[in-house]
Amino acid sequence: MSGSAKATLVRTLLANGTLLTGKKCTINGTVKRVRSLKQNYFLAFNDGSHHSHIQVVVPTTSLENKIHNGDVLTIEGQLAKSEGGQQQVEFVAERVLKMSGSSESFPLSNSHKMSLDMIRRHPHLQSRADYFQSMTRLRSAAEWAMHEFFQKHNFVKISTPVITSNDCEGAGECFLINSAVQTDKTKEKPSV
């Protein structure tokens, strides 16, 4: 792999697909789903820049190891007009480098079947789940719009302390927050 090649975002490929057909480029991302046929792997591939995945066609002869859901890959290839009817373009891989592997028991292999509570219990996997990626993109766009608005109107942003449940070196013992009103029977110090 050429280390100097800058990766192209999936968002760019999907938005300008017909204009970029035939152009060689490099993409980085995560394998969402794998379909294996005799001569090719068909990957649903995403880098988190867009809610849709791009289909990547990988010839089985160009791989040293099998590809699994959740693998992080760097792929060199070119965009081509899709022969299938479900997408306009697909990425045809010429070289594949496995940056990080996963096993066949990767928890998000069937992420559409997993409950949000299950994914929330594994915070390190949230960034790979479609729902959480969409929420992150939405939050980023909303925060950018608010910052841009306030900058145009000469506001100054300050970061104020946040009351939190995190207890750093005993600081959480300095105050107590209760939602219930205490009665005289408890004979405790009043809470803040």
pLDDT attached to residue 28: 92
State the Cα–Cα distance between residues 150 and 147, nearest whole angstrom. 5
Please count the other Cβ atoms lying within 10 Å of the Cβ belonging to residue 131: 13
Residue 137 — φ and ψ, nearest 5°? -65, -40
Give the mean model confidence (pLDDT) for residues 125-149. Answer: 86
Q: What is the mean pLDDT of residues 35-39?
A: 84
Whole-number pLDDT of residue 107: 58
Query: Does pTM top 0.75 for this prediction?
Result: no
Mean pLDDT for 178-192 is: 59
Q: Which of 18-27, 40-49, 57-66 has the lowest mean pLDDT?
A: 57-66
Mean pLDDT score, 169-178: 63
> What pLDDT was estimated at residue 142?
95
* Higher per-residue pLDDT: 5 or 132: 132
Residue reference for tokens 């995190």: 166
Higher pLDDT, 42 or 161: 42
Q: What's the rounded Cα separation, in Å, for the pair 8 and 16? A: 11
Per residue in 62-108, pLDDT (tens digit) is 676 778 788 888 999 998 888 777 778 889 899 888 887 665 555 55
pLDDT for res 111: 45
Q: Are 80 and 113 in contact (CB under 8 A)?
A: no
Average of per-residue pLDDT across 108-120: 67
pLDDT higher than 90, residue 182: no
**85 vs 41 pLDDT, higher one:** 41
* φ, ψ of residue 96 in degrees (nearest 5): -130, 130
Q: What is the DSSP letter of 174?
A: G
Angle at 87 between CA 141 and CA 16, to 5 degrees: 50
